[in-house]
């Protein structure tokens, strides 16, 4: 494994919380509103809800859920997630019941715009994580991290503390790469609750992290945010695509080239299917 990058070199597309204005948005008639803090339009992409939110609106919604005290779930959605939901109605139900489903992938931003959310913008998991940490530091909220490896978590926490002095990280655990026993799972639940974490970032990858969040939503009082590979990116253990590839919707190609054996099916199988079925959706709707 290569040498970890300095903190500044992994600050890719990371907005500061205080820099992000909230644009009031109206919910379209007939759209579902699963969150008490809903203030953004939503559209259905191949049966899965995607919200036309923003970094600031999502961060404020997370803070509102923390204040409500009933926990919550935030998904950052990609084409991969849409196709997992398309193929599995139960997984689609899990995602659609989340408090926010952000358009993490650029193709989903384009999809929202084609479906009428003209000002849709990307809310990218690796950029949302530090922004929410910034908000947590400002408001005295504690955060936790669940997933990845102990090495990654150690470096991630160190970098978050360096970037946001005063941030309270009350929990960090890398579960084993296998299904937990009932006793191990209960120990994790007890540890998270005892830590007092207000916001728990979950980095297990899609669809595992969304299923884990759904399974634990009733037993954990924190707001859980699934952020995929964000832990690895911010710890400097995986490279991010150049900015020009991100904005042009080619980040998938960069990641495929970096990890072809692991990711080939995700991109070479799901991406063409997404395009085919979304064109059919557009044809039916317009």
| 40-56 tens-digit pLDDT | 999 999 999 999 999 99
Residues 273-282: what's their mean pLDDT?
A: 98
Residue 24 pLDDT > 80: no
Alpha helix positions (H), 140-177? 150-163
Cis check for the bond before 207: say yes or no (omega within 30 of 0).
yes
Give the pLDDT band (50/70/90) at residue 94: very high
Beta strands (DSSP E) in 82-125 are 100-103
Which band of pLDDT confidence, cut at 50, 70 and 90, is reported for residue 20?
Answer: low
Q: How confident is the model at residue 19 (pLDDT cuts 50, 70, 90)?
A: low
133 has a pLDDT exceeding 70: yes
C-beta separation of 105 from 79 below 8 A: yes
Q: What is the pLDDT of residues 97-120, one digit of tens each?
A: 999 999 999 999 999 999 999 999
13-41 residues labelled b (16+ CB within 10 A) or e (exposed): ebbebeebeeeebeeeeeeeeebebbbbb
């Amino acid at each position: 494994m290569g040498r970890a990058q300095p903190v500044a070199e992994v600050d890719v597309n990371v907005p500061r919380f205080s820099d992000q204005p909230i644009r009031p948005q109206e919910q379209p008639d007939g759209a579902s509103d699963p969150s008490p803090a809903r203030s953004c339009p939503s559209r259905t992409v191949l049966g899965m809800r995607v919200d036309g939110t923003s970094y600031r609106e999502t961060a404020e919604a997370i803070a509102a859920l923390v204040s409500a005290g009933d926990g919550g779930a935030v998904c950052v959605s990609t084409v991969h997630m849409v196709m997992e939901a398309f193929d599995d109605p139960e997984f689609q139900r899990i995602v659609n019941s989340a408090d926010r489903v952000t358009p993490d992938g650029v193709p989903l931003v384009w999809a929202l715009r084609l479906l009428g959310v003209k000002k849709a913008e990307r809310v990218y998991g690796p950029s949302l994580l530090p922004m929410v940490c910034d908000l947590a530091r400002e408001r005295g909220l504690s955060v936790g991290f669940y997933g990845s490896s102990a090495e990654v978590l150690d470096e991630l926490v160190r970098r978050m503390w360096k970037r946001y002095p005063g941030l309270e990280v009350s929990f960090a655990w890398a579960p084993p790469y296998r299904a937990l026993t009932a006793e191990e799972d209960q120990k994790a639940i007890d540890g998270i609750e005892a830590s007092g974490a207000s916001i728990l970032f979950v980095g297990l990858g899609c669809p595992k992290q969304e299923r884990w969040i759904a399974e634990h939503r009733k037993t954990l009082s924190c707001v859980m945010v699934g952020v995929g590979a964000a832990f690895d990116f911010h710890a400097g253990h995986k490279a991010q695509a150049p900015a020009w590839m991100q904005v042009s919707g080619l980040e998938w190609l960069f990641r495929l080239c970096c990890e072809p054996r692991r990711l080939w099916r995700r991109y070479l199988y799901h991406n063409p299917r997404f395009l085919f079925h979304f064109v059919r959706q557009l044809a039916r709707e317009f």
